[in-house]
Structure 1
Amino acid sequence: MTIKLITVGKIKEKYLSNGISEYAKRLSRYCKLDIVEISDEKIPDNAGEKQEEMVKVTEGQKILNHLKDGIYTIALCVEGKQLDSVELCETIDRLAVTGKSTIAFIIGGSVGLSDEVKSKADLKLSFSKFTFPHQLMRLILLEQIYRSFKITSNETYHK
């Protein structure tokens, strides 16, 4: 199985890079991990709704360029469905059994995902009602994907 992360922006903080590298290494036992970084659009500090929407649309087009037919797509967004770790594991397992060889997780930039990207998603997923920095979300997501593979493999992992 291939897990593809399509993310907006580069990781600038070393502690996040180190954590992401650690989970990428751990995941290599269970799947092929493909991380695609989309360049983020610059947005003024006092941007209005129209400017933010333009940024979402521009970043969204870049994201959509990396989505191919047949890839199951999960968009991370606040209005998505909340799953616990076991439910995420069951979702990934079900997709694998039904022949989905690639699952793409999409993490938007600082202003979120465009409506077009969300409409193309097979599943909209929310990790919390809290707002997380998109760079930190990449680390959190990788940890939960790793946890899913550990659960599936019936291997111990801290709770």
Structure 2
Amino acid sequence: MEMTVLTVGKMKDQSLRAGIEAYSNRLSVFCKMQIIEIPEEQLSDKMQAADIEKRRNDEGERILSHLTPEHYVMALSMKGRLWTPKRLSNEMERLSAKGQSQIAFVIAGALGLSEAVLDRSNEQLTISQKVFPHQLARLVLLERVYRAFQLSLGESI
């Protein structure tokens, strides 16, 4: 299985980076994984709603440019359904059984996801009922995916 995490913005926090690298290494046993950082649009206090929407759409176009028709896309969104590691494990097993081998997770930046990205998504999910900064969401997502793989192998978490 191939996993791609498309995330807006660079990882700036060194302690989070260490955790992400640790989970990336653990996940490499289960799947081929890559993290792609999409450049984040710059904001200013004086921006109007139309400017913000244009920048969100620009980020969305850059996200979409990394997706192929073969990707099963899961967008992280507070509007999505809550996915526990068990539910994610079940979904990954279902997708694998259907021959779906490429999964892409999309994490928004400060502007959120464009409608085009949400429309392209096969699923919208949330990994917690709490709101996380997008950099922390990356770490939490990798932890959840790792736990999902452990569950699919019958390991306790």
Equivalent residue, structure 2, for 1:152 = 152
Equivalent residue, structure 1, for 2:35 = 35
Partner Cα distance (1:130, 1:21) in 2: 23
User: Is 1:81 matched up with 2:81?
Assistant: yes
Contact 1:43–1:51 (8 Å) recurs in 2: no
Runs of 5+ in structure 2 lacking a partner? Answer: none
Partner Cα distance (2:108, 2:118) in 1: 10
Equivalent residue, structure 2, for 1:7 = 7
Partner Cα distance (2:142, 2:46) in 1: 32
Partner Cα distance (1:73, 1:155) in 2: 26
User: Is 1:50 matched up with 2:50?
Assistant: yes
Equivalent residue, structure 2, for 1:21 = 21
Equivalent residue, structure 2, for 1:132 = 132
Q: What's the TM-score, normalizing by structure 2?
A: 0.95
Residues matched between the structures, number: 157
Equivalent residue, structure 1, for 2:121 = 121
User: Is 1:66 matched up with 2:78?
Assistant: no
How much does 1:129 deviate? Answer: 4.0
What letter matches 1:57 in structure 2? N
How much does 1:78 deviate? Answer: 1.2
How much does 1:126 deviate? Answer: 1.6
Greater shift in the superposed pair: 143-152 or 126-135? 126-135
Q: What's the TM-score, normalizing by structure 1?
A: 0.94
Greater shift in the superposed pair: 101-110 or 48-57? 48-57
Give structure 1 regions of 4+ aligned residues with deviation exceeding 3 angstroms.
45-48
Partner Cα distance (2:47, 2:93) in 1: 42
Describe the SS at the equivalent of 2:61: helix
Identity of aligned residues (%): 39
Partner Cα distance (1:148, 1:28) in 2: 14
Describe the SS at the equivalent of 1:131: coil
How much does 1:154 deviate? Answer: 1.1
